[in-house]
Chains A and B, each alone.
Chain A
Amino acid sequence: METLEHIAFDRRLDVLDMVYRARTGHIGGSMSCMDILCALYYRVMDTEKIKRGEADRDRFLLSKGHCAEALYAVLADRGFFPRERLLSYARFDTALAEHPTRKIPGVEAATGALGHGLSLAVGMAAAARRDGSPAHIYVLMGDGEQDEGSVWEAAMAAGKYGLENLTAIVDRNRLQISGNTEQVMPLSPLAARYRDFGWEAVECSGHNSEELVRALRLRSPQKPVAVIANTVKGYGSELMENKAEWHHLVPDEEQYACIRAQLEQRRGAVSRG
């Protein structure tokens, strides 16, 4: 049986095609966050309820909006819009811009200016709680994004209001555009920092679906939950893995073939469920 990890590799292949065809994109971070997106959209959230637009649906915000192509690949496969639309990624006048907008079915908010998503999520979670709604709010941030002061303003507010219906996930791939996160602006110990702000915080492998699903389902009374998902930038292709320049490099023909072969090989090595 196909596992979540198989599905995530299929979506990574979609991303590779989108970026290669459009000659633009953020491939490294899209590869690192794909298992997180798949855990949410194929296991944790009720996507049919989201598609119906029900008021008490769970919400997901891609605060690291530059990895929109990863989200688009997942949304298309989950039936939010036809897969053919992926071909329009980053084209003239497309709805599928390099950062998501509300014009796209399944996208709750336009994001991509870093450091906004957690605040949006706090507003959503506070409103849902006061309405007595069972909606849970998930927000995915980059680790470089943690440099933004507004993230910590939001973290304080989430702690103050005890937003137990909020889960923030950090795609902890340890690389931002200029290099290692700890050299650009040290973040460790990230989980401890969230705990200091009144959160429940757990670390897990961001490429192990079982661990991810468990962490994403974790709830803590009167506390928001931070999931520090340890990931590898460019995951699935040795050519790209752990190389900062693949933040937004676009593969040439030879690199495309190499990345495709490596992703397929790694997909084949995943054990069946």
Chain B
Amino acid sequence: MAKVSCRKAFSSELLAQARQNPQIWAMATDSRGSVTIGDFFKELPNQSLELGIAEQNAVAVAAGAALMGKNVFVAGPSCFLTARAYEQIKVDVAYNHTNVKIVGVSAGVSYGPLGCTHTSLHDIAGMRALPGLSVFVPADAVQTRFLTRWLTGYEGPAFLRMGRGDVESVYGEEETFQVGRAKLARQGSDVTLAACGECVWQALQAAELLAQRGVSARVLDFFSIKPFDEEAVIRAAEETGAILTVEEHSVCGGLGEQVARTVVENRPVPVKILGFPDSECRVGASADLFRAYGLTGEAIADQALRLLGKGR
């Protein structure tokens, strides 16, 4: 299947939905190119607002329009949107419970060669900590289209986080998802690989390698970070006895810590958290950084074997 970027899947689906519903608005922060949302602005000028390189204002303007009945998608690079406008997201979006969708693109290490001004390895942690704000991290274009469609019908604040580049297809077009439920991407019984975003595909590669070593790995896709599927984690702990988490995010405050807390509070089993360490990220293309920080299928499989006491 052809590789498609999540951002293009998002922008084309949003445009399709907005054609049917004039209450759906898009706002940009000089980010029409980076979000690939230029067509929306051209076709629906009365449903879009360009607010310039001013994320704080854009998020609060979105909240203001939402208070007048609009369902506003404010989209820009996640590194700026979720950090520069954090207080606006906290107060104007989450606390005011406005119908605003914060869409962070080029998240994680998508902008790896640009250095740490442009990494966005903090955003899941930051957004998760805001009461009332839902958090979603799609794994591929199919799931992004599903979430975008779902969010156009959802009245409330949410954060949708995606990368920049073309991604492997994890799901077929007819795949179904349920918000608040982890997606079982592969069944398994010896260990669970819990992943989100582009790491789901890497986890599936790892599961394939583990199968060759006689290890049956379950892969759970936590695209719905909040609401979070605690039951799936507890079941995985009970049925597979060990959980490895994988995410394109800091090990501080992301999916891994959410899984670990659920396990510790409910069904203690060994857990290992894979992600980016709490240190300045090295510079490089996304694929190079995934290799350097052990987030490839091979490295994940190695870590899983170690967790099971079968490591080299």
Give residues of chain A (140-175) contacting chain B, Cβ–Cβ below 8 Å: 149-150, 153-154, 156-157, 161
For the complex of A and B, list the 8 residue pairs with the smallest distance between their C-beta atoms, beginning with the closest.
A123-B64, A119-B60, A153-B57, A127-B68, A153-B54, A123-B61, A120-B64, A123-B65
Interface residues of B (CB under 8 A from A): 46, 49, 51-52, 54, 56-57, 59-70, 72, 87-88, 90-92, 95-97
19 other A-B residue contacts (CB within 8 Å) besides A115-B56, A123-B67:
A55-B69, A109-B63, A109-B67, A120-B63, A120-B64, A121-B64, A122-B61, A123-B60, A123-B61, A123-B64, A124-B65, A124-B68, A130-B46, A150-B56, A153-B51, A153-B54, A154-B61, A156-B54, A157-B54
A115 to B62 Cα, complex, angstroms: 15
Chain B contact surface mostly: helix
A165 to B60 Cα, complex, angstroms: 18
Closest Cβ–Cβ distance, residue B205 to chain A (whole Å): 44
Q: Say yes or no: is A264 at the interface (Cβ < 8 Å to chain B).
A: no
Q: Say yes or no: is A126 at the interface (Cβ < 8 Å to chain B).
A: yes
| Chain A: interface size category | 20 to 34
A contact residues around B57 at 8 Å (CB): 119, 122, 150, 153-154, 156-157
A19 to B48 Cα, complex, angstroms: 44
A116 to B93 Cα, complex, angstroms: 11
A126 to B27 Cα, complex, angstroms: 12
Chain A contact surface mostly: helix
Specify which of A116, A121, A125 lies most central, judged by the most chain B CB atoms within 10 Å of its CB.
A116
Q: Which residue of B lies closest to A150 (CB)?
A: B56
B contact residues around A109 at 8 Å (CB): 63-64, 67, 92, 96
Tell whether, in the assembled complex, residue B61 and residue A116 are in contact, meaning their CB atoms are under 8 Å apart: no
Tell whether, in the assembled complex, residue A120 and residue B54 are in contact, meaning their CB atoms are under 8 Å apart: no
Q: Which residue of B lies closest to A160 (CB)?
A: B52
A contact residues around B97 at 8 Å (CB): 102
